[in-house]
Amino acid sequence: MNTSPRTALITGATAGFGRAAARRFIAAGWQVIATGRRAERLDALRAELGDALHPARFDIRDEAAMRAALDALPERFRGIDLLVNNAGLAQGTQPAQDALLSDWKTMIDTNITGLVTLTHAVLPTLIARKGALINISSTAATYPYTGGNAYGGTKAFLSQFSLNLRADLHGTGVRVTAIEPGMAETEFTVVRTHGDQAASDRLYAGANPMTAEDIAEAIFWVATLPPHLNVNRLELMPTSQSFAGFQVHRGG
Ligand code: NDP
Ligand code: 8X3
């Protein structure tokens, strides 16, 4: 990365980690291209953060819209030093045998296909600028749980994709990191449950989960390390969360 990188493209900046990261980077003097589908959220962020923020509204599953948004970047936002692949979601909490195939396809299209499409488009710029790529994976990439099924699969892809990118980008100076958070309170669970705010409130109640700002700080720390340092993967959990044992079914 250049010694003073200036422009970050942060996907999924209309909520949660992405919005907190946009605020964190702009507070530190960066420019941010903020993406997401909700125009009113992007407009509000632009009003809050000023002209250091360029809103780019597109659905990450829509390749033509993504390419149009990249083509339409104002000149001063074109030199992307940092891509934060954050946009993503879980859909459903049911075990695989009860899950909706449409939910699985939504997660794969968003968390994998959209993400690799954008990464492929931005890589030449990152290489030219010796930039950095931060992928927001999850503890679900490593630790299976009932109902994690396709979501965990998409995040495992992302963690492994990150390590393989490191190998391919060897010698280019481009840094690649997978950040793997555990439980953090954002809109994630409302989205996962198709709008059940009460279920989201129950999950986080009394658990003292991580916050969007915690993860934004981790993203910012990784991005601003000296250029000779690469964090390959960074796993974070709230202190209140840890590991359970294997489950055993008895009785045939
Ligand atoms: P939020 O639901 O709060 O934010 C998700 C963001 O992703 C929104 O800005 C949303 O924007 C964007 N997004 C979702 N789908 C699309 C799409 N099709 N096109 C464009 N943007 C999209 O969740 P978080 O901030 O918690 O999640 C951010 C990332 O962190 C995700 O990849 C998630 O899997 C991961 N993560 C979350 C954890 C948690 O416990 N919260 C833990 C570990 C990882 P919009 O709806 O406006 O399009
Ligand atoms: C989100 C964390 O545990 O809900 O990636 O899968 S978890």
Residues with CB under 6 A from ligand 1: 12-18, 36-38, 41, 59-61, 86-89, 110, 136, 138, 181, 183-184, 186-188, 191
Q: How far apart are CA 245 and CA 189, in angstroms?
A: 24
Q: How far apart are CA 41 and CA 50, in angstroms?
A: 14
Contact 20, 212 (CB under 8 A): yes
Largest CA distance in the chain: 66
Q: How far apart are CA 25 and CA 246, in angstroms?
A: 40
pLDDT above 80: residue 2: no
pLDDT band at 245 (very low <50, low <70, confident <90, very high): confident
Element (H, E) at 127: helix 115-128
pLDDT above 90: residue 3: no
- What pLDDT is attached to residue 251? 93
Identify the structural domains of the chain with CATH numbers, from first to last. 7-231 (3.40.50.720)
Closest ligand (CA of 18) = 1
- What pLDDT is attached to residue 252? 84
- What pLDDT is attached to residue 1? 44
How much is the CA Rg of the chain, to the nearest whole Å? 18
